[in-house]
Amino acid sequence: MKEKTIYEHLRDKGLSRRDFMKLCGTIAGMMGLEFAPPVKALGKLTHPSPTEVVAQALKTKPRLPIIWLEFQDCAGCSEAISRSSSPSLGNLVLNDIAIEYHETLMAAAGFQAEKAKEECMRKYWGKYVLVVEGSPTLADDGIYCTVAGKSNLDLLKEAAAGAAAIIATGNCASFGGIPAARPNPTRACGVADLIKDKPVVNIPGCPAIPEVTTGTILHFLVMGELPKTDHFKRPLPFYGHTIHDHCLRRPFYEAGKFAESFDDEGARQGYCLYKLGCKGPTTYNACAALKWERGLSYPVQSGHPCLGCSEPHFWDGGGFYEGQSAPTIILDKVSTATLVGAGVAVGAALAGVNAVKKSRAKKTLKKAASPETGTEAETKKEA
């Protein structure tokens, strides 16, 4: 039996055509098409409106199977997605547009769950999208993170083999995240560091912005391919600009007005948080554009500097409240004194050599000087 298209599935659930078109518009927005230049983002599709592109896809394509694996993580990205700005839409995407296997969210548990995953993989082999949350661990063949007796490495390789595309959500899955923070005992790494033969897209963030994850899933569904990415495999529509670029406090930055502490007048006035350690200038993410909690706010807006959570090694990039321009390794007093001491010691040693040279020069000069010149004055010279 031919699989039902998404449109057919939704119509069966009682969605009117009018609501369907509205949904398509919303989806187009979620894909990030609204704030990337349409021509650039759509590439081949310049004439039809984004909504029509989405509608066309939903009418012709079946639901997208998704397998969602968790490794070394806090489930924060899943949490975020389950409470995302538009719960009904989130549900809609995860329940009606996609079919998924998600260990944390699914009702089944234990062997049942494992069986469900195996079935899902077999049924949609080569077609499903693999979403990874949490970092794989390389140390000791991955024994620090196992599910049902299988190491996370085996699980990842197994699931990746049949995936059409892989989406690494959250900083952990993208770059290793917090588990990879120094000294990284489990040798946590990003998914893309392990899987080289499948298209991988990273949605870093701590957590990843839910709309970006769902938006990327929808993009794959609608366009049939992963969005264009930057050098960190981050989808450009969402990671094309820095927090600083879109910051609502930017005018204060330009004017040189900075909050000096969290409770000063500058902080109350909403001045720039750069001096409080904001990493906005080097952090590429869509926080400022999408915001969180139904577009309510995001860290910088709420008065907290950006931590740079969508960048590799954000955990080790100097203190969160340390200015971004500050060196990350600071010389303490003892080592400074040691260095000065070393300089002084070498200097003194070579100065000793120079002193020898000097006295030798004096001696040779004395010898060379004609005895007659000196006589009269020499005798009277100070000893």
Partner 1 sequence: MDWTEILRFSRGPLLHVAMMIFIVGMSYRLVKVILLGWERDRAANKGSKLWGVILNYLKGLLVLPFIPWVRRTFRNNALTFIAGGLFHLSLFVVLAFGTAHILVWKSLFGISWKSLPTPVVAFFSAAGIISLIVLLINRLTHPVLKLLTKLPIWINWVMVFLPMITGFIMARHLWFRYEVIFSLHLISVSLLLIWIPLGRISHFLFYFFSKTIHGAQAGKRAIMP
Partner 2 sequence: MKTQLAINTYLKETGGWVASQLEACTRCGICAEACHFYQALGNPEYAPIWKLEPLRRAYEQRFTVAGKLKLALGLEKKLTDADLEHWSKIVYEACTVCNKCAHVCPMGIELGPLIHEVRAGMAAAGVVPGDLAEATEKQKTIGSPLGVTDEMWRERIDWITDEWEVDIPVDKAGAETLVVFTSIELMKFPDNLAAIAQILNKAGENWTASSKGREVVNFGYFEADEELTKLFMYRVFRAAEELGVKKIVISECGHAYDAFRWTAPNIMKVPKGVEILHISEYIHELWKTGRIKLKEGAFDSETITFHDSCKIQRRGGIIKQPRELLKVLAPTSFKEMTPNKAQAMCCGGGGGVISIKEADANRYAVFKMKLEQLQEIKAQSVCMVCSNCRLQFVDSLAHFNSTVKVHGLAELVAKALV
| Residues forming the site for partner 2 (CB under 8 A) | 350, 354, 357-358, 361-362, 364-365, 368-369, 373-374, 376-378, 380-382
Select 294 or 358, whichever has its Cβ closest to partner 2.
358
Residue 369: CB minimum distance to partner 2, A: 6
Q: Tokens 């699914």 belong to which residue?
A: 106
Select 348 or 368, whichever has its Cβ closest to partner 1.
348
378 binds, among partner 2, partner 1, none (CB under 5 to 8 A by kind): partner 2
Select 73 or 311, whichever has its Cβ closest to partner 1.
311
Residue 366: CB minimum distance to partner 2, A: 10
C-alpha 156: how far from chain center: 20
342 binds, among partner 1, partner 2, none (CB under 5 to 8 A by kind): partner 1
332 binds, among partner 1, partner 2, none (CB under 5 to 8 A by kind): none
Report the distance separating Cα 160 and Cα 153, nearest Å: 10
377 binds, among partner 1, partner 2, none (CB under 5 to 8 A by kind): partner 2
271 binds, among partner 1, partner 2, none (CB under 5 to 8 A by kind): none
Select 254 or 372, whichever has its Cβ closest to partner 2.
372
Select 325 or 373, whichever has its Cβ closest to partner 2.
373
Report the distance separating Cα 178 and Cα 176, nearest Å: 7
Binding site for partner 1 (CB under 8 A): 231-232, 242, 244, 253-258, 260, 274-275, 281-282, 311-313, 316-318, 322-331, 336, 339-340, 342-344, 346-348, 350-352, 354-355, 358
323 binds, among partner 1, partner 2, none (CB under 5 to 8 A by kind): partner 1
**Angle formed at CA 51 by CA 45 and CA 55, multiple of 5 degrees:** 95
Residue 175: CB minimum distance to partner 2, A: 43
Buried b (16+ CB within 10 A) or exposed e, 11-50: eeeebeeeebeebbbbbbbbbbbeebeeeebbeebeeeeb
Spatial CA neighbour of 97 closest among 19, 17, 214:
214
Q: Is 372 exposed, middle or buried (0-12, 13-18, 19+ CB in 10 A)?
A: exposed
Report the distance separating Cα 64 and Cα 142, nearest Å: 30
Position 170, amino acid: G
Report the distance separating Cα 88 and Cα 92, nearest Å: 6
Select 329 or 383, whichever has its Cβ closest to partner 2.
383
Residue 131: CB minimum distance to partner 1, A: 24
Residue 367: CB minimum distance to partner 2, A: 10
The enclosing H or E element of 99 equals strand 98-102
Residue 174: CB minimum distance to partner 1, A: 12
Select 303 or 317, whichever has its Cβ closest to partner 1.
317
Report the distance separating Cα 259 and Cα 62, nearest Å: 52
Residue 349: CB minimum distance to partner 1, A: 9
C-alpha 172: how far from chain center: 8
For 89, left (φ over 0), alpha (ψ -120 to 50), or beta? alpha
Sign of CA pseudo-dihedral 291, 292, 293, 298:
negative
143 binds, among partner 1, partner 2, none (CB under 5 to 8 A by kind): none
Residue 343: CB minimum distance to partner 2, A: 12
Select 294 or 363, whichever has its Cβ closest to partner 2.
363
